Every structure is written in C-alpha cells, then in structure tokens.
Amino acid sequence: MSAAKDLWSYMRPRWPLCVLAVILLMGEAGATLWAVSQARPILDSMRTPLPIPGARAAHESAEAPEQTALDETPAGAQELKKSALMLLVLYLTKNALGLCAVIVIAYVGLRTVAGMRKRAFSHIQDLSLGFLENERSGTLVAKIISDTDLIMRLVGTGMLGALIGNPIIIIGGIAMMVHIDRPLSLVAVVTVPVVLLVIAKGGQRVRRARASAQRDLGRLASVVEETLQGIRAIRIFDMGDAQAEKFQEQNRANIRAQLRERIVVGSMRCVVELIPVAAFVCAAVVLAERMVSGPLTVGAFGTFLVLMLLVGKKFRELARLNADWQAVQVALDRVQGILGGPLAIGDRPDAVPLPPVRGHIALEDVCFAYEPDSAVLKHVSLDVKPGEVVALVGPSGSGKSTIAALIPRLHAAQHGKVTIDDYDVTKVTATSLRSQMAVVPQDTILFAGTVRDNILFGNPEASDAEVEAAATAAYAHDFISGLPNGYDTLIGERGVKLSGGQRQRLAIARALIRGPRMLILDEATSSLDAEAEWEIRHALDTLIKDRTTLIIAHRLSSVVHADRIVVLSDGRIVEQGTHEELLAKNGHFARMHELQAHRGHQAAVS
C-alpha cells in the first residue's frame, strides 16, 4: 500500500487524466463483454444449414417449421445481419476506446516519471556529502534512470489498463456465465480464489528476486562508470583485462539474478495459466453433454466457452500485472531510498541573509567527526582577521580540509561554532554565506561545455569582459586564445581536452569571477608546472589582497609568504606563526620542512 501511495503522490497532479483513462478503460471492458454477448444470437441463428435452392421440400420435411423459422424468414436474416453489424461496431468502439486509453496512460506515465526524475535529481543535490560519498555513483544513476524507466514502461503501458479493465471483464464475464448456466458457472467461480492465492504467494517471491536483480544492475552500472572515469589510469597501468574481468564477474551476477527473477515469474504464470485451462476443459466436457441432452443451445455453448477463455486470459494478465507491480514496488523503494537519504545542512527556519562581510573567520572550540568515536577536529580554535592570509599545513588526515568544509557549511560542527564577522554560519542562509566566498579545490572539477560556460559557473550573470578579466588574472587568457574556438571551445567531459595546469587555471578563474570576500585555496597550484605556478603565484599575490584567504597546503614551499601558518596534527592545532618563526621553533613545522627539503634534494639528484 505504501508503494501505491508513493506512486499516486507523483500521479496526483494529473488526476483528471487518470479519471479520463479509467472511464476509457471501463468503456473498453464494457464494449468487450457486449461484443461477446452478440456472438450468441449469431451462433443460434446458424444452428441449421442455410436453405439450398431446389431442396426446400426435403428441408421442410426434415425440420419442424418453428426450428427453421429464424433462418428462413426475412426477419431472422435481418436479426442476423443486425447482430453481425453490432458486433463490428462494438469491436470498433472497443479498439477506439483502447487506443485513446493507451495514449492518455502513456502521457500520464511519461509526465509522472519526468516529475519523479526531476524530484530525485534535485534531491540528490541536497543530500549530505557523507551519504553521497558512501553511495556508489553508478547505483545512483541506475536508480534515477533505469528504475524510473522501468516504472514508466510498466505504469505507462499496460499496468493501469490491466488494473482497471481486467477486474471488470472477470466480474462481468462470470456474471454472464451465471446467467447462461448457473450450476456450471461454479467451475469458473471456484478458480477465482485459487488463482488469487497463487498470485499473492508468488508476488512476494517475485519482489525479492526483482530487488536482487536491480541491486546487481546498479553495481554493474558502477563498474562501467568508474571505468570511464579512470580510463587513463587503466591504460597506463595496463589494467584493462582486470577491469574487463571485474565487469564480466558483475555481469554474470546480474545474469544470475535476472534469470532467477524470470524463473520465479514464469513459474507463477504457468500455474496461474494452468488452473483456468483445467477449468475450461472440465466446463467444455460438461457443456457438450448438456447441449446434447439438455436445453443448452449452440449459441449458449459457444458464448460460455468464449467467456471462460476471456476470463482465463484476464487472470493470466493479472498474474503478469502482479509480477510487474512487484518490480514497480522495488523500483519505487529504490527511488524513495534516494528521497529518504539524509539531507545536507539546510537553513534553519529563523535563518537570516548574511550581509556583506569584511571576512573575519573564527572557529571557537570546534569538534567534528565523520564517524562516531573517530574525531577529526578536537577543540580547535582559530581566528582569521579580515584580509589575512592563513595557511593550514599538516599531515594527511590532520583536519585541514575539514576546517575548509566547515566554513561554507558543507558540514556542521558537533561542538563549538564557526562565525563570519560574528555571525554564526548555522544561523544564516547558505546562499548568502557561499555567495561571498570562493573555493578552488585540489581536484579540479570542470563540466562538459565550453571554456566560457565553465568560468561563468562561478557567476552566470558576468559579462564577456568580466570572463576575460578573470581568465587574464588567472593567467589563463593566453592559452584560451590559442584554442580552436577560443572561449567557445568545447573542453570535453571533466575538461579532458585540457592539461592539468590549464584545468586548474580555469578553476581559479571561475572562483575569481565571483568577486569573493573570502578565498579557500585547497592546493590551488598543485597541478601546475613550474612556469605556470610562478605566473599564478604572482596573480594570487594581487588577487588575495584585501581578501581573507585560507590556503590548504601540502607543499610548504607554497606558503612561505603567508601571513600566518597554522600547523595541525591529529585534529589539533600544535603550532602557528610565520614561516621564519616556525622554523626557529624547531618543532613540527621544522621537521616537516626538513623532510620535504630532503625529498626534494633526492628527487633533484635522481
């Protein structure tokens, strides 16, 4: 029932069309039953041979006048023609109503799934980073695309028609059989609870098998996605065969899961089909005896058998409907799993817009842990004055990137608070907070599109002149001008057509075009060669002026000119000061500096 409610919540905006579809389907079912009823007078009118010229006398002597009156009189022939014409009209009406229903249902299904995909995609962007980092992206893609497509194909094609039309035909067909021969109709009535019991029991097994198949399909999609994203590394390390085997292993698992599902569904359909067929054979034998020895006419006999076949067919379709519904429930559960995922930190009801700030950043006794009992930051306090350039250094896992993530409220501190100009970041709107800062991550993320599109990602309202100014400031204008179409050059997915240094410079230009008061540079020059790094360092010296800048660095040579260097270790601040002051202390920073200098000397010698 929960799945039905979930599905209806997406279909509700188009409820008038749903009502129209139900009316059309009811009309189609009614026309079908009416058409079957028209077969009886036609068959009854043909229970004796039609008159043959020259053989009338012999015919009259062999048959009683009242037995042949229907066939030979003009009135009888007229009734036959009328029934045949009515049968044609009814089938035309049935098909017309069915076609209209198919079109309406298809439209409702497509719009419903489009809304479902839109809601799921929008929700993904609001999910917590922890949830997204733990979920395989290929699985998320499969849920948004494959699962919703499955829902569309089933709901938007035959499911609604079977759900509405089949019960009408089954109930109406059984009622007509009772009218024709009440005792014999019990054969059909008895089969109903048996078939429904088989459908109910089999549906549970179908759902479990379908869920397993969908999980394996998501894992298969993940293998494909990670292969495409890491194709360069795969080729460099000659891991193509290993990746192909990994794909094939998951492919085989998916085949096994799909085969189990087909076996379960097929078994249930076989049983459901066998029961009405057995009932039909029994009824046919008894009908034949009653037609010979009793008052049952050829028309009644034929109509009863047609009704049994029709009702049996609808029972088989209900079995398929049940299997399809189990698949829809699994798909809906997977989509709802996305919608039920933990959200990123949203705005509080009383959140206020952050006014233009000077850029005073403060962390007060902050503690943070991604997992319980595994603290990343332990009572960290840090004060960054407006316009100050502060570098965070320390070994991997010491908490540098976590501090950078707390400032734009990508995560929330479990203890203590983070403030901007004395405004608690949890009490202001995220949009107003993030609009006044820019982040250049270590892993450059570019999007398929043009160079201009990627720079404008930082400020969609910027003019062409502002785009070029930002690119020039990031020392990117010269290489952009040398591209085939300049700023309108397509750079490929994730900027694959550009070098690492070029991608990094575009990321810096994208950040700078925002005109932020605060900058967070996470190894912003890590992907640059020596010449490009020198150029951008000169650009950054100008750009960070009067802006509060937080630099996350692994290479200590890149933070020599920082106003202050903060050294972290095991989630705590252990030292801070200028480059010269920290070297003079001969502590953590001095040891890190000595180690990096030694490694650099070894690399130069080799």
> Residue 439: which residues within 8 A CB-CB, separation 6 or more?
404, 408, 511, 519, 520, 522
In 3D space, the residue among 537, 540, 528 whose CA is nearest the CA of residue 500 turns out to be 528
Q: CATH 1.20.1560.10 spans which residues of the chain?
A: 2-339
Taking residue 473's Cβ as centre, other Cβ atoms within 10 Å add up to 19
Beta bridge partners of 549: 389, 519
> CA-CA-CA-CA torsion for 576, 582, 585, 587, nearest 10 degrees?
80
pLDDT exceeds 60 at position 269:
yes
Tell me the average pLDDT of the chain: 77
The per-residue pLDDT for 70 is 42
* pTM (global) more than 0.85: no
CA atoms within a 13 Å half-sphere pointing along the CA-CB vector of 186: 4
Q: What is the CATH number of domain 442-515?
A: 3.40.50.300
pLDDT tens readout for residues 105-140: 888 887 888 888 888 787 777 777 767 766 766 677
The per-residue pLDDT for 439 is 83
- Burial tier of 416 (Cβ tally within 10 Å: 0-12, 13-18, 19+): middle
Taking residue 20's Cβ as centre, other Cβ atoms within 10 Å add up to 16
Side chain identity, residue 341 = G
pLDDT tens readout for residues 142-154: 777 777 777 776 6
pLDDT tens readout for residues 374-392: 889 999 999 999 999 999 9
In 3D space, the residue among 176, 195, 196 whose CA is nearest the CA of residue 184 turns out to be 176
CATH number, domain 348-436+517-606, options 3.40.50.2300, 1.25.40.10, 3.40.50.300, 3.40.50.10280: 3.40.50.300
pLDDT exceeds 60 at position 66:
no
% pLDDT > 90, the chain: 13
Looking at CATH, the fold of the domain delimited by 2-339 is given as ABC transporter transmembrane region fold (1.20.1560)
* Region 549-555 average pLDDT: 86
Beta bridge partners of 352: 428
**Are 423 and 354 within 8 A, CB to CB?**
yes
Structure tokens that stand for 127 in this block: 């999910």
pLDDT tens readout for residues 400-449: 988 988 998 888 888 999 999 999 999 999 889 988 988 887 777 787 78
pLDDT exceeds 80 at position 31:
yes
Q: How far apart are CA 457 and CA 506, in angstroms?
A: 11
Q: CATH 3.40.50.300 spans which residues of the chain?
A: 348-436+517-606, 442-515
